[in-house]
Structure 1
Amino acid sequence: MNATDRTPADLLASALAADPGRPLVTFYDDATGERVELSVATFANWVAKTANLLQGDLSAGPGDRVALLLPAHWQTAVWLLACSSVGVLADLGGDPAAADVVVSGPDALDAARACRGERVALALRPLGGRFPRTPEGFTDYAVEVPGQGDRFVPFTPVDPEEPALIVAGREFSGAEVAERALAEAPSLDLTGPGSRLLSGLSYDTWEGVSAGLYAPLATGGSVVLCRNLDRLDEDALAKRIESERVTAVRR
């Protein structure tokens, strides 16, 4: 984290400038066998495309609320950084009826229909695959995002002191997210570049989203983000820790 990093989007920009080729997010789904590894550059490209979709096609901007009805997943991490890039408030598990935009996984589509604004559906299929048939009333993220621009510039500069994240009912500004992630990194055994944290925590608490994204990003480390980690026995988990060169575990 540099002195000029005031938001999560700033943290990503610094990571991209420092070492674009290093791993940032490695995702496992132990219910499907999926493994995806995203370098800083690849992750940042997904973030830029998603931010362009959010700002351009969905007309979202500072002051708007985006309800994210998504599990701990690499695409959720992308959406969190895209929201930070645009300057909208990302509400993890928030009320769709109170949101300007809702972004939903396949298991929350019925709840997401309460949103009167734009609705985006994520199939959460391997390799970012699309729905076989787009859910009625939704935009399929996997269909729309590939054609978006690879560079993003916000229409309005993002104010680090404005609300940026709600998780477990608590609101944080962009500056608070960045500062708290860095301050709490030592308690997660993140010691700086090269640190690699395996997290099986969900994204419905600050601890989960910090361990699963923000703290590794703030310290120049990386995260091995595991969904359905309880499907692994201890021997399989030990093998993953070894093969992924994990330096810290939270589950």
Structure 2
Amino acid sequence: MNASDRTPADLLSSALAADPARPLVTFYDDATGERVELSVATFANWVAKTANLLQDELSAEPGDRVALLLPAHWQTAVWLLACSSVGVVADVASADPGAADVVVSGPDTLEAARACRGARIALALRPLGGRFPQPPEGFADYAVEVPGQGDRFAPYAPVSPDDPALIVAGREFSGAEVVQRAEAEAADLGLTGPGTRILSGLAYDTWDGLNAGLYGPLATGGSVVLCRNLDRLAAEDLDKRVESERVSVIARLPSQP
């Protein structure tokens, strides 16, 4: 993290400048067997394409609210940083998607997402970012729309770090607050500096889950092994994953006190 980093998008820019080849997000889905690893450069490319989709195709503007009805997933992490890049508010696990300007839904939350009268984007959350076999009615398929977007992003309007950037569990954060809190809580998570690798099985519907699963590693030059459906993994297999992925610290898991 640099002293000039005041938004999550700034953190990503600094990470890209420092070491674009290092791993940033390694994702496992223990229901499907999927594993995908994204370097800083690959992750930033997905963020740029998604931010261009938001700004150019969906006409999102700073201050708009984007309801993210998505689980802890590498594509959710991409959307969080894309929202920060554009300056829109990422409303995670929104309780009121009907009031959002844009809704982004996984396959399990499509009915709730239909309450949004604005643009609707659906993610199949299939391995390798695959598309829906048949796009859900009333939704654009993210996997169809995003590949053709530009690889570089520049916001039309400056993004103020003091503006609302994130809503999670009913709490609103500015971009600056996200960065400051991620940095302040890093030591409590065991994120001691560059190269620290944290494994998290926490959901993205709380600050703790978002911090362990994205913001904390990004703020400290670390990386995350983000695990969905981790409760399906046997203890001995978790030990093997920790060893093979060179995990430095494990975030508190849902089953732990």
Question: What's the TM-score bracket when you normalise by the shorter of the two chains?
Answer: over 0.9
**Partner SS for 2:72:** coil
Task: Confirm or deny that 1:239 pairs with 2:249.
Answer: no
Quick one: which amino acid aligns to residue 148 of structure 1? Q
Quick one: which amino acid aligns to residue 75 of structure 1? Q
- Equivalent-residue separation in structure 1 for 2:144 and 2:247 (angstroms): 34
Quick one: which amino acid aligns to residue 122 of structure 2? A
Aligned to 2:135: 134
Q: Deviations over 1:134-165 (max 9, x none)?
A: 11100100000000000000000100000000
Aligned to 1:221: 222
Aligned to 1:170: 171
Quick one: which amino acid aligns to residue 28 of structure 2? Y
Task: Confirm or deny that 1:182 pairs with 2:180.
Answer: no
Aligned to 1:41: 41
List, as ranges, runs of 4+ consecutive aligned residues in structure 1 with deviation greater than 4 Å: none
Aligned to 1:16: 16
Aligned to 1:208: 209
RMSD: 0.4
**Partner SS for 1:107:** coil
**Partner SS for 1:102:** strand
Q: Deviations over 1:30-51 (max 9, x none)?
A: 0000000000000000000000
Aligned to 2:66: 66
- Equivalent-residue separation in structure 2 for 1:18 and 1:201 (angstroms): 28
Aligned to 1:249: 250
**Partner SS for 1:208:** helix
Identical amino acids, percent of aligned pairs:
81
- Equivalent-residue separation in structure 1 for 2:28 and 2:67 (angstroms): 24
**Partner SS for 2:198:** strand
Structure 1 residue 110, shift from structure 2 partner: 0.6
- Equivalent-residue separation in structure 2 for 1:61 and 1:192 (angstroms): 34
Structure 1 residue 15, shift from structure 2 partner: 0.1
Structure 1 residue 96, shift from structure 2 partner: 1.0
Structure 1 residue 246, shift from structure 2 partner: 0.1
Aligned length: 251
Quick one: which amino acid aligns to residue 58 of structure 1? L
- Equivalent-residue separation in structure 2 for 1:101 and 1:142 (angstroms): 17
Aligned to 2:156: 155
**Partner SS for 1:191:** coil
- Equivalent-residue separation in structure 1 for 2:74 and 2:61 (angstroms): 23
**Partner SS for 2:224:** strand
Quick one: which amino acid aligns to residue 183 of structure 2? L
- Equivalent-residue separation in structure 2 for 1:61 and 1:246 (angstroms): 38
Structure 1 residue 63, shift from structure 2 partner: 1.2
Unaligned runs of 5+ in 2: none
- Equivalent-residue separation in structure 2 for 1:127 and 1:106 (angstroms): 16
Aligned to 2:116: 115
- Equivalent-residue separation in structure 2 for 1:109 and 1:232 (angstroms): 27
Q: Deviations over 1:55-83 (max 9, x none)?
A: 00000011100000000000000000000
- Equivalent-residue separation in structure 1 for 2:61 and 2:161 (angstroms): 14
- Equivalent-residue separation in structure 1 for 2:108 and 2:217 (angstroms): 28
- Equivalent-residue separation in structure 1 for 2:143 and 2:183 (angstroms): 32
Aligned to 2:26: 26
- Equivalent-residue separation in structure 1 for 2:203 and 2:137 (angstroms): 28
- Equivalent-residue separation in structure 2 for 1:117 and 1:102 (angstroms): 7
Unaligned runs of 5+ in 1: none
TM-score by length of 1: 1.00
